[in-house]
Amino acid sequence: NAGVMQNPRHLVRRRGQEARLRCSPMKGHSHVYWYRQLPEEGLKFMVYLQKENIIDESGMPKERFSAEFPKEGPSILRIQQVVRGDSAAYFCASSPAMGQSYGYTFGSGTRLTVV
Partner 1 sequence: KNEVEQSPQNLTAQEGEFITINCSYSVGISALHWLQQHPGGGIVSLFMLSSGKKKHGRLIATINIQEKHSSLHITASHPRDSAVYICAVRKVDNTDKLIFGTGTRLQVFP
Residues lying near partner 1 in the complex (CB under 8 A) are found at 31, 33, 35, 41-45, 48, 55-56, 58-59, 91, 93, 98-100, 103-109, 111
Closer residue to partner 1 in complex, CB, 6/82: 6
What is the nearest approach in angstroms of partner 1 to the Cβ of residue 47? 9
Q: For residues 64 and 111, which CB has a smaller minimum distance to partner 1 in the complex?
A: 111
Least distance to partner 1, CB of residue 70, Å? 20
- Residue 2's identity, in one-letter code, is A
Beta carbon nearer to partner 1, 1 or 100: 100
Sign, Cα dihedral of 13, 91, 3, 55: negative
Rg (CA), the chain: 13
Quick check: helix, strand or coil at residue 85? helix
Q: What are phi and psi of 76, to 5 degrees?
A: -120, 130
